[in-house]
Amino acid sequence: MKRFLLILITIIVFSSCSNQAYLFTSFHEPADVGLRMLYSYDGYHWQDFDTVFLKPAVGQQKVMRDPSMVQGPDGVFHLVWTSSWRGDKGFGYASSKDFIHWSEQSMIPVMEQEPTTVNVWAPELFYDDAAKDYKIIWASTIPGRFERGAEEDSNNHRMYMTTTKDFKTFTPAKLFLDPGFSVIDAVIVKKQKNDYVLVLKDNTRPERNLKVAFSNTAEGPWKSLSKPFSDNFAEGPSVVKVKDRWLVYYDSYRKKIYEVKATKDFHHFEDVTGQITVPEGHKHGTIVPVKKKIVRELVKRFKKK
């Protein structure tokens, strides 16, 4: 009887996990071509759809860098991206239910109240199921606003945030993170109720590595800033939970490869780079867990035979 129950539990667990697949938003250089995506059925081995899903049409430079995506509770996929290296006071936005038909692209002018803003980089989406809203965080430089280190004042970033429920109205931008140094590429992770992690890039010289901080809410305040868990010259972290471990993917741009650290608690990290495959040319985006059906339909439609 015990053996039968064990087998039954194993079947149930396997069945509950077997419907899982993953999409990884991406772009290639030069960044004016548009949204690309990778797909995976296990979270470790990735393939490219070899197509462009959305060509950027907003912003001064009309590029699409750092595409971040999240699927809302209604099934709609929301996408935000860096639309220019410098000059824009906001970021690009579009949505889709199927990656074939897209909403009209728009510019979300989150920093228009700060006329000296140099840039709006790497907007990152997070659906907050506790507050029932979407939080968007990004890095901007406002010269003279914060004490700087070795960086130029035009490269002294802090993280900002806005929230929205419908992507039509947005709360006024506010300071999200000032760790006392230039910071970019931050990602909010919910471990469990009242237990959040922020993965961030310390962009100061000579650091330029990844660290984590902790909070009991998705908005912070963020405490217990860690030592680096990556080598220097790392950026663009994307975090996904696969089985009982969190995988932190990041672009090791000096090595020109993707590296991955696995962790169960965000205090102890294991290098599992040798266990993953990521196509050449992939640049950082967001990993989104989806149903296998979605990936299979996209493979059938877009994947080259």
- Residue 8 is assigned to a structural domain of this protein: no
In a domain, 13, yes or no: no
The CATH number for 78's domain is 2.115.10.20
Please write the tens of the pLDDT for every residue from 183-241: 999 999 999 999 999 999 999 999 999 999 999 999 999 999 999 999 999 999 999 99
Give, as one character, the DSSP assignment of residue 226.
Answer: P
Q: What is the pLDDT of residues 114-160, one digit of tens each?
A: 999 999 999 999 999 999 999 999 999 999 999 888 888 999 999 99
Q: How many domains does the chain have?
A: 1
130 part of a folded domain: yes
Q: Rounded to an integer, what distance in angstroms lies between the CA atom of residue 146 and that of residue 202?
A: 15
Residue 294 lies in a domain: yes
| Encoded amino acid at 182, one letter | S
Q: Is the pTM of this model over 0.85?
A: yes
Q: Which domain holds residue 192?
A: 20-302
Q: Please give the torsion angle defined by the CA atoms of residues 134, 247, 43 and 187, in that order, rounded to the nearest 10 degrees.
A: 20
Q: Please indicate, yes or no, if residue 12 is contained in any of the structural domains.
A: no
- Domain for residue 14, yes or no? no
Which of 221, 126, 136 lies closest to 170 in space, CA to CA? 136
Closest CA to 261 of 279, 245, 283, 277: 245
Spatial contact of 243 and 262, defined as CB atoms under 8 Å apart? no
Domain assignment present for residue 1? The answer is no
Residue 137 inside a domain? The answer is yes
